[in-house]
């Protein structure tokens, strides 16, 4: 099945000047400046971020001009991530086992091959009842690394996935490179081109969901927090099979992600383009998107800086109603209960899920049915289910496609 990537497989007729593309707004560069440029961590000040967004806004004034710029940004993401042209897709060879049955949902350990011998591992949550085909939600995790709050094993991650499954969605919570099953096999997250592999894994995760056979291809969403938020808006930007997105506490005009998996390759700036995570998030337009932000991290300015910019893009499509911002000024950097509740309501609305199944008699959200599993029960590969002998070894410095 061929992936439908906006700007790659869709023909866009572009007849615009360099000004429309915003290229003339980038100063002439020396040979040194033309080398790939990384925009990492706190890349710029908050004031500089506002000025940058104002500069971007000068490069378009209508939908046609924005679409031209959007196409250029997508192409630059693929080019900067070394995914242009896209790699040939291998067989997924899915591995699914150890079903556990709980109240309103089930959990299975699942894996597939994103590249020959490279396994993406995770937890597959399914509703126990409901009419097929089901909606589906990808749930990437962030970088929290303490043993008690680790990757997809986190309590809040398990609650989010189980609740969405009981609401009627098939949910895949998958490990970042070097986390979970990857880590137990010896893989490190600190690979030079981890952004490339991680974005490709997310694209293949959509393929995996669709391969299950009972998924509604018109109802696929994604939501993640922190680094998982980056994965959420990045995948949505390049893969139009994602129809609803909820990036939590991550879309910032001045902070570009502190890990190589978020900003370690030149996806934001080169001699031919300049953009930020705000515009990358805006590539979701006109598809429904909820930006979740808080007062305790780099998303503190979202209501006044990032959200207005994104909303203006949706306005060009006549789709302002499809974008929302849930801002929690007194909260910090997490995917806590109030943030999950906002996500549940938004995803229920746009993916046609049932909030009634997770609502208590008093009308409040009830996650008490969720069983928090032990980490050792959630690994895909173990003594009973060993990793295939042909799996790529973790000490390989470069994968065959690098």
Least confident range from 42-56, 58-72, 115-129, 144-158: namely 144-158
Q: How confident is the model at residue 397 (pLDDT cuts 50, 70, 90)?
A: confident
Q: Which residue from 141, 92, 87, 88 is spatially nearest to 261, judged by alpha carbons?
A: 141
Q: Which residue from 265, 263, 266, 261 is spatially nearest to 179, judged by alpha carbons?
A: 261
pLDDT greater at residue 12 or residue 107: 107
- Residue 17: pLDDT over 70: no
- Residue 268: pLDDT over 80: yes
User: What's the rounded Cα separation, in Å, for the pair 161 and 144?
Assistant: 17
- Residue 16: pLDDT over 50: no
CATH code that applies to domain 95-356: 3.40.50.1820
The pLDDT tens digits of the residues spanning 200-229 come to 999 999 999 999 999 999 999 999 999 999
Position 32 scores a pLDDT of 52
Are the C-beta atoms of 41 and 277 separated by less than 8 Å? no
Residue 216: Cβ within 10 Å count? 17
* Residue 37 DSSP code: B
The pLDDT tens digits of the residues spanning 101-134 come to 999 999 999 999 999 999 999 999 999 999 999 9
Q: Report CA-CA distances (Å) from 141 to 102, 114, 246.
A: 22, 18, 13
Helices (H) and strands (E) in the chain, counts: 12, 9
Q: Which residue from 159, 167, 168 is spatially nearest to 123, judged by alpha carbons?
A: 159
Give the pair of three-digit tokens for residue 351.
């993916």
> What does the CA dihedral 357, 361, 365, 371 come to, rounded to 10 degrees?
-70
The pLDDT tens digits of the residues spanning 140-151 come to 999 987 776 789
Give the pair of three-digit tokens for residue 148.
């008690």
User: What's the rounded Cα separation, in Å, for the pair 288 and 269?
Assistant: 27
Give the pair of three-digit tokens for residue 192.
């030079």
Secondary structure (3-state) at 225: strand
Whole-structure pTM value: 0.91
* CB-based burial, 319-348: b 16+ in 10 Å, e otherwise: beebbbbbbbeebebbbbebbbbbbbbbbb
Residue extents of the structural domains in the chain: 95-356
The pLDDT tens digits of the residues spanning 278-323 come to 999 999 999 999 999 999 999 999 999 999 999 999 999 999 999 9
User: What's the rounded Cα separation, in Å, for the pair 37 and 158?
Assistant: 37
Position 395 scores a pLDDT of 77
């Amino acid at each position: 099945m061929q992936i439908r990537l906006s700007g790659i497989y869709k023909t866009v007729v572009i007849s615009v000047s360099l000004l429309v593309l915003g290229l003339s707004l980038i100063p002439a560069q020396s040979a040194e400046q033309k080398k790939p440029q990384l925009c990492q961590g706190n890349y710029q000040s908050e004031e500089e971020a506002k000025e940058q967004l104002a500069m971007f806004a000068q490069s378009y004034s209508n939908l046609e001009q924005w679409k031209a710029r959007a196409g250029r940004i997508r192409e630059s993401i693929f080019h900067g991530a070394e995914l242009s042209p896209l790699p040939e897709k291998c067989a997924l060879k899915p591995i699914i086992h150890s079903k556990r049955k709980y109240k309103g949902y089930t959990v299975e350990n699942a894996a597939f091959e994103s590249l020959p011998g490279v396994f993406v591992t995770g937890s597959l949550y399914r509703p126990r009842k409901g009419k097929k085909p089901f909606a589906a939600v990808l749930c990437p995790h962030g970088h929290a690394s303490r043993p008690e709050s680790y990757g997809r094993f986190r309590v809040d991650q398990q609650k989010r996935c189980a609740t969405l499954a009981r609401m009627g969605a098939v949910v895949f919570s998958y490990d970042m490179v070097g986390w979970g099953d990857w880590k137990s096999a010896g893989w490190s997250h600190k690979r030079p081109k981890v952004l490339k592999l991680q974005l490709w894994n997310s694209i293949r995760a959509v393929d995996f969901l669709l391969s299950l056979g009972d998924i509604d291809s018109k109802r696929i969403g994604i939501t993640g927090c922190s680094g998982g938020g980056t994965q959420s808006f990045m995948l949505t930007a390049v893969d139009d099979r994602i129809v609803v997105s909820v990036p939590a506490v991550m879309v910032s005009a001045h902070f570009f992600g502190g890990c190589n998996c978020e900003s370690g390759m030149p996806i934001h700036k080169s001699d031919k383009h300049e953009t930020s995570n705000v515009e990358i998030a805006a590539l979701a337009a006109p598809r429904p998107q909820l930006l979740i932000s808080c007062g305790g991290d780099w998303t503190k300015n979202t209501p006044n800086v990032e959200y207005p910019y994104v909303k203006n893009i949706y306005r060009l499509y006549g789709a302002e109603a499809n974008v929302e911002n849930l801002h929690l000024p007194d909260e910090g950097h997490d995917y806590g209960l109030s943030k999950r509740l906002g996500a549940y309501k938004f995803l229920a609305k746009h993916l046609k899920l049932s909030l009634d199944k997770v609502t208590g008699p008093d009308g409040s959200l009830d996650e008490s049915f969720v069983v928090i599993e032990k980490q050792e029960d959630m690994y895909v590969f173990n003594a009973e289910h060993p990793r295939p002998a042909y799996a790529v070894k973790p000490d390989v410095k470069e994968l065959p496609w690098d």
